[in-house]
Chain A
Amino acid sequence: MINVENLSKHYGAFTALDGVSFHVATGRVVGFLGANGAGKTTTLRILSCFMPPSAGMATVGGFDTVRASDDVRRLIGYMPESVPLYGDMRVVEYLRFRARLKGVASDCVSAALERVISQCHLQEKRRSLIRALSKGQRQRVGLADALIHDPRLLILDEPTSGLDPDQRVEVRSLIAALAGEHTVLLSTHILPEAEASCSDVIIIHKGRIAASTSIAEVTGGEQRWRVRVADRDYAVTTGASAAGTLTRWDSAEAASQHAAREVSAGRVLLEVGPEKRTLEDLFMSVVAERIPTP
Chain B
Amino acid sequence: MNRLWTLAVREWRAHVHAPGTWVLLGLAWFWLAAMYCWQVLPASGHGDIQYMLWQGALHIANLQILFIPLLTMRTIAEERRSGTLEMLLTAPVRDHEIVLAKFLGAFGVAALMWMLLPFLMLLAVMSGGDPDWGPVASATLALAGTAGVLTALGVLASALTHNQLLAGFLGLILSFAFMYLPRLVPSDWQTLQEVLSSGDLLQQVEESARGIVDLTNVAFQISMTLLFLFFATRSLESRKWL
Contacts and interface: CB of A to CB of B under 8 A. Distances in A.
Given A80-B83, A100-B2, A51 B239 contact: yes
Contacts of A84: 82-84, 86-87
Contacts of B240: 51-52
A11 B6 contact: no
B90 A101 contact: no
A145 interface: yes
Given A51-B240, A88-B17, A103-B92, A80 B3 contact: no
Contacts, number: 61
Interface string A78-113: 101010111010000000011011110000000000
B242 interface: yes
A93 to B, nearest CB: 9
B: interface residue count bin: 20 to 34
A97 B6 contact: yes
Nearest to B9: A97
B7 interface: yes
Contacts of A98: 87, 91
Interface in B80-102: 82-84, 86-94
Contacts of B17: 88
B86 A80 contact: yes
Nearest to A142: B87
A120 interface: no
Nearest to A97: B10
Contact of A73 (B14, B18, B82, B91): B91
Interface string B67-87: 000000000000000111011
Contacts of B10: 86, 97
Nearest to A69: B92
A51 B238 CA distance: 10
User: Which bucket holds chain A's interface residue count?
Assistant: 20 to 34
A101 B242 contact: no
A48 B7 contact: no
Contacts of A145: 87
A102 B92 contact: yes
A48 B86 CA distance: 10
Contacts of A86: 10, 14, 84
Contacts of B87: 78, 80, 84-85, 98, 145
Contact of B90 (A11, A50, A97): A50
Interface string A28-65: 00000000000000000100111110000000000000
Nearest to B87: A84
A47 B88 CA distance: 15
Contacts of B90: 48-50, 73, 76, 78, 80
A80 B94 CA distance: 19
B91 A101 contact: yes
Interface string B220-242: 00000000000000000001101
Contacts of B89: 49-50
Nearest to B18: A88
A-B pairs, top 5 by smallest CB distance, nearest first, are A84-B83, A73-B92, A48-B90, A100-B6, A84-B84
Given A73-B91, A84-B83, 10 more contacts: A11-B242, A50-B90, A51-B240, A74-B92, A97-B6, A98-B87, A101-B6, A101-B91, A103-B2, A103-B3
21 contacts: A50-B86, A73-B90, A74-B92, A78-B90, A80-B83, A82-B83, A84-B83, A84-B84, A84-B86, A85-B84, A86-B14, A88-B17, A97-B6, A97-B10, A98-B87, A100-B6, A101-B7, A101-B93, A102-B92, A103-B2, A103-B3
Interface of A: 11, 45, 48-52, 70, 73-74, 76, 78, 80, 82, 84-86, 88, 97-98, 100-103, 145
